Amino acid sequence: MAEITNEFLLERINQQFGESIRSSETPYDMLTLVIDPAKVEDIMEFLFKDNLLRFRFLTDVCGSHHPDIAGQELCVIYHLQSMENNIRLRLKAFVPVDSPEIPSVTSLYASANWMERETYDFYGIQFTGHPNLARILNVDEMDYFPLRKEYPLEDGTREDKADQYFGR
């Protein structure tokens, strides 16, 4: 089997889901696609079932918060891997902070269960169709999503910590 390159991979996904792919780049040799959040499950199902690509392994799911991008504050980042072709792929889907909904991929990957719960726990992203979207690492009573950027690690009102030279 010929080796699958990033270019080939991008072209193959583009053929099927050209209109759902918003941008693509290749930082540090890993193809990174920004995709339409509504299409996450469809694209991953295609990647999973396609006989050539065979992305059968979900390496990682995590979130990130970008308060500056209006309407696309929260991001879900998926790392996929095709062990047979030895290639990795990163998918990113941005969702607004007001209605952070994205389809769950637990039907494809059992491993997504806890990883999506973790992402919900820290960023409040609602994975629709998840069998048990509860907090996992934090206490159940917590009423905020601690990894969002509006929660600083240190108390911002303390003056003894202010340091104008080193940007604290």
Partner 1 sequence: MDVDKNQIEEQTQTKEQGAEGDLHVEYTTLNLGPTHPATHGIFQNILTMDGDYVVDSEQTVGYIHRAFEKIAERRPYYQITTLTDRLNYCSAPINNMGWHMTVEKLIEVDIPKRAQYMRVIIMELARIADHLVCNAVIGVDTGALTGFTYMFQWREKIYDIFEQICGARLTTNIGRIGGMERDFNNEVYRLINAFLNDFPKAFQEFCSLLERNRIFFDRTVKTGPISAERALNYGFTGPNLRATGVDYDVRVANPYSAYEDFDFEIPVGLNGDTYDRFMVRQGEIWESLKIIRQAIDNMPAGKYFADVPEFYLPPKEDVYNNMEALIWHFKIVMGESDVPKGEVYHAVEGGNGEVGFYMQSDGGRAPYKLHFRRPCFIFYQAFPEMIKGGMLSDAIVTLSSLNVIAGELDA
Residues that bind partner 1 (CB under 8 A): 27-28, 30, 32, 56-60, 62, 64-65, 77, 79, 83, 86, 88, 90, 109-111, 113-115, 118, 122, 136-138, 146-147, 153-154, 166-167
* Best CA proximity match to 149, nearest among 76, 66, 70: 66
DSSP letters of 46-70?
HHHH-TTT---EEEEEEEEE-TTST
Q: Minimum Å distance from CB 167 to partner 1?
A: 7
Closest CB 51 distance from partner 1, rounded Å: 16
Nearer to partner 1, 19 or 168 (CB): 168
**DSSP structure class, residue 5:** P
Smallest separation, CB 114 to partner 1 (Å): 5
28: its two tokens: 């540090």
Provide the minimum distance between the beta carbon of 22 and partner 1 in the complex, in angstroms, as a whole number: 16
Sign of torsion over alpha carbons 7, 8, 14, 15: positive
Residue 14 φ then ψ, to 5°:
-60, -40
Query: Please, which residue, 14 or 107, has the CB nearer to partner 1?
Result: 107
Instruction: Pick the closer one to partner 1 by CB: 38 or 151.
Output: 151
- Residue closer to partner 1 by CB (options 18, 156) is 156
Sequence letter at residue 51:
N
Which two structure tokens, joined as six digits, stand for 74?
């929260």
Q: How far is the CB of 15 from partner 1 (least distance, A)?
A: 26
Of 52 and 137, the one with the shorter C-beta distance to partner 1 is 137
φ, ψ of residue 153 to 5 degrees: the values are -70, -40
| Side-chain half-sphere exposure of 54, counting CA atoms within 13 A | 10
